[in-house]
């Protein structure tokens, strides 16, 4: 069964405003130079909850949302492209309720999930677009899916998780260990405009971009680890799940690219790195905005032809390790310049159509499976299908011993990728 639009019937759509007005000194939120380089799109997550006696609390979800919006005041605002800032005048977050004409169990494992979203992934950056939209999807069985979209202009995956965690705490009335967000990133990284590359993202869905969900369960991860254990004989830390899956998919994507073109070509491998708690002094894990840098490595056409999984594991591992260690310099003297020049370099090279640029985003460390609104933890968490080619997003499995990889490719590239023998072994 495929999820189709006719199964999802929107019942209501409203704006939820902060329960107290945003102070005048916070009515304007400027962007950091990291925010400005992001694609025009929304960051989205969907959390799936089975029926529970306490689930009949949509009104409580509304109330708790209004309750925490004063802390997350930019999320109730609107973005001005001309001024490159968020007008935080309490215009409101969008709140949608929808009825789904199937059971929750019917959609677990599907790849086409965007109909659960309140807005299209690419519908962002216009003055009429809410910075944040939420859709509560109610299934025939009594279960629900809570879909949250926040403009990527001012939010990354960590910011989304911070918001969801705070909203859930407020919803269940938990007043312990308060989550106190801050929006100080423009103070640390103000000013310069890197220019936004053309990511090819459209406001409406692009049928030529398709998504493949690949489950690497604990057995698959163990098999990959066995292949490179000899590289870590003298190390106390074996290769991580993320590194193993990223390296495996890198090899497969480059192999399928060669199959399509009939020859190898150079590549640029890009991994998003969260800088929170890694700087000196450490930025709070509850800092909101886009607080990331990019770990990247280039390979020539000859290298992509000769390298395999066992080469990519140490190559990608060392690249990310060096980028993480460089985070300690970001808030120091010349740190701003280091971060800016790194982002500028990667953005420029990613725009070179003669090389194969592959982007990896790891969301495994964010606690989406811990988000409890008062009716238990989700049984599944997903992203939406992102209309951006050559993008791989990694998510935890519920048991935290495997990884779900969401691979976004052009449909022609996906054909070759799905026919790759190693990918077929994983997916069959």
pLDDT in tens, 367-384: 999 999 999 999 999 999
CA distances from 47 to 113, 117, 238 (A): 11, 11, 31
The fold of 5-188 is Chloramphenicol Acetyltransferase (3.30.559)
The residue annotated as part of the active site, out of 29, 152, 336, 359, is: 152
User: Cα–Cα distance between 205 and 279 in angstroms, integer?
Assistant: 38
Catalytic site includes residue 401: no
The residue annotated as part of the active site, out of 106, 184, 217, 372, is: 372
Give the CA angle between residues 335, 336, 342 to the nearest 5°.
90
pLDDT at 352: 87
Under-70 pLDDT residues of the chain: 1-4, 56-57, 193-198, 428
- Asked, colleague to colleague, whether 5-188 and 209-365+379-427 share their fold, the answer is yes
pLDDT at 183: 96
Domain 209-365+379-427 annotated CATH 3.20.20.70: no
Q: Given strand 28-30, what is the order of strands in its sheet?
A: 28-30, 85-87, 78-80
Domain-by-domain residue ranges, the chain?
5-188, 209-365+379-427
User: Cα–Cα distance between 259 and 255 in angstroms, integer?
Assistant: 6
User: Cα–Cα distance between 316 and 207 in angstroms, integer?
Assistant: 32
Q: How many other CB atoms are there within 10 angstroms of residue 306's CB atom?
A: 11
Helices in 157-307 by DSSP H: which ranges? Answer: 157-171, 185-188, 218-228, 241-261, 301-306
Decide: helix, strand or coil at residue 156: coil
Q: pTM (2 decimals)?
A: 0.95
Q: Which of 111, 136, 127, 122 is nearest to 43 (CA)?
A: 122
Catalytic site includes residue 372: yes
Kindly report, residue by residue over 160-203, the tens digit of the pLDDT.
999 999 999 999 999 888 899 999 999 999 877 666 666 778 88
Decide: helix, strand or coil at residue 416: helix
For residue 93, list its beta bridge partners: 16
Kindly report, residue by residue over 392-416, the tens digit of the pLDDT.
999 999 999 999 999 999 999 999 9
pLDDT at 196: 61
CA distances from 347 to 249, 251, 267, 321, 405 (A): 22, 22, 14, 20, 23
pLDDT at 233: 82
Q: What is the mean pLDDT of the chain?
A: 92
């Amino acid at each position: 069964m495929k999820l189709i639009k006719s199964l999802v019937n929107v019942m209501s759509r409203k704006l939820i405003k902060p329960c107290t007005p945003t102070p005048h000194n916070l009515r304007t939120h400027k962007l950091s130079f990291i925010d400005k380089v992001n694609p025009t799109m929304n960051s989205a997550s969907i959390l799936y909850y089975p029926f529970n006696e306490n689930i009949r609390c949509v009104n409580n979800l509304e109330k708790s949302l209004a309750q925490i919006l004063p802390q997350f005041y930019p999320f109730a605002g609107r973005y001005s492209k001309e001024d490159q800032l968020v007008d935080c005048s309490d215009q409101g977050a969008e709140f949608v309720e929808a009825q789904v004409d199937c059971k929750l169990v019917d959609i677990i494992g599907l790849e086409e999930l965007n109909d659960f979203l309140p807005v299209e992934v690419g519908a962002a950056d216009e003055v009429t677009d809410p910075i944040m939209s939420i859709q509560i999807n109610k299934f025939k069985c009594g279960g629900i899916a809570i879909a949250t979209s926040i403009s990527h202009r001012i939010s990354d995956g960590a910011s989304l998780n911070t918001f969801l965690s705070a909203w859930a705490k407020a919803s269940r009335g938990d007043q312990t260990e308060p989550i106190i967000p801050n929006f100080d990133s423009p103070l640390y990284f103000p000013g310069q405009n890197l220019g936004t590359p053309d990511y090819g993202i459209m406001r409406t869905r692009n049928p030529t971009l398709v998504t493949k969900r690949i489950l690497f369960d604990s057995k698959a991860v163990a098999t990959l680890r066995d292949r490179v254990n000899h590289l870590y004989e003298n190390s106390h830390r074996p290769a991580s799940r993320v590194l193993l899956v990223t390296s495996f998919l890198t090899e497969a994507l480059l192999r399928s690219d060669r199959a399509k073109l009939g020859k190898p070509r150079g590549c640029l491998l890009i991994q998003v790195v969260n800088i929170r708690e890694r700087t000196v002094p450490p930025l709070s894990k509850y800092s909101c905005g886009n607080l990331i840098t990019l770990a990247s490595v280039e390979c020539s056409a000859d290298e992509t032809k000769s390298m395999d999984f066992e080469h990519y594991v140490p190559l990608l591992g060392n690249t990310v390790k060096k980028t993480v260690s460089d985070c300690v310099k970001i808030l120091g003297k010349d740190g701003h310049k280091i971060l800016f020049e790194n982002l500028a370099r990667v953005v420029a090279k990613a725009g070179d159509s003669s090389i194969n640029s592959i982007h990896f985003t790891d969301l495994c460390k964010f606690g989406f499976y811990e988000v409890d609104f008062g009716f238990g933890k989700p049984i599944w968490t997903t992203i939406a299908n992102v209309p951006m080619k050559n993008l791989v997003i990694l998510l935890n499995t519920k048991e935290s011993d495997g990884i779900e990889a969401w691979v976004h490719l052009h449909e022609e590239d996906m054909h070759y990728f799905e026919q790759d023998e190693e990918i077929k072994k994983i997916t069959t």
